[in-house]
Structures are given as C-alpha cells and as structure tokens.
Amino acid sequence: MTQETPDRTSRFNVLVVEDSPPMRSMIVFALRGLAGVTVVEADDGVDALRKLAKEDFDLILTDINMPILDGLKLIKRLRADVSYERVPVIVITTEGAAEDRQRALALGANAYITKPIQPPVVTKTVRKILGLD
C-alpha cells in the first residue's frame, strides 16, 4: 500500500517496515504532515527487501521484533549490500534497553526511537535525516 501526501511532487520515498497493522497505520499517520514524502509499507523484513528491489528509497523506518526477518537482520542485510548500504535507517521499537539501542546503532541504524512513539519525535528525526531542516 502506498500513501502519498497531498503534495504531488514527492521528493522522498520512505519505507515503513512494521508487522503490526495498527502500529504501521500510526507511523504512516505521523509522517503524513511531511510534504513531498511518499510512504510505502512493508509487513516484515522480507517484504521490505522485496520492495527495496523494486524501487529506490531515501529512508527506511523499521521495527525490530518481526516474524520471518526481524529489523536487526534487515539492517545487517542492508549494510552488507552496496545498493542499500547508504540508505538511512530509523529503528522504531518497544525495546528500550540501552544495550538494544547500542546493538542497533552498531549494526548501522542511524536513529533509534522507542514506542509508544511521540509524533513530533518521529517527524523531527525524519526531517533531520532527510535534511529537511
């Protein structure tokens, strides 16, 4: 499913990887105010890789705990592939322990946000990484 903001001149393609449909909806909702951003949704890491193979993305937001291919394995795969090694990744997860954060950042995540999310935190982080500020 792809949701485009009212601004038809999309300049940024963002992939949201989250297995929980209500949570995925809320992340998409939080991003809706960012003009020029198109959001594509993926159910898990494997679905994300499938979508990455079809189109280019400027940013990936991913959960950690997902079936089939979790968020940490997804980051590992991305960083090992020259095609995606530079695509920024923001982790959005329930795992709030310091060692979880460190593990994700060590694997190559660019930012780490814990749930329950605060929309301003998500949009500020996305804006910073996309260079919208």
Q: Where along the sequence are the contacts to another protein (CB under 8 A)?
A: 5-7, 11-12, 20-23, 25-26, 29-30, 33-36, 58, 94-97, 114-116, 118-120, 123, 127, 130-133
Which is closer to another protein, CB of 54 or CB of 120? 120
d(CA 29, CA 97): 26
Quote the least distance from Cβ 11 to another protein, whole Å.
5
Nearer to another protein, 83 or 94 (CB): 94
Kindly tell me which of 1 and 80 has the beta carbon lying closer to another protein. Answer: 1
Minimum Å distance from CB 29 to another protein? 5
- Token pair listed for 51: 């979508």
Q: Sheet with 12-17: list strands edge to edge.
A: 2-4, 37-42, 12-17, 59-62, 89-93, 111-114
Q: What is the largest CA-CA distance in the chain?
A: 41
What is the distance, to the nearest Å, from the Cα of residue 12 to the centroid of all Cα atoms in its chain?
13
Going by C-alpha positions, the residue among 8, 37, 47 that lies closest to residue 126 is 37
Q: Smaller CB distance to another protein: residue 29 or 80?
A: 29
Asked if 104 contacts 70 with a C-beta cutoff of 8 angstroms, the reply is no
User: Residue 87 Cβ, how far from another protein at the closest point, in Å?
Assistant: 12
Report in angstroms how near the CB of residue 49 gets to another protein at its nearest.
23
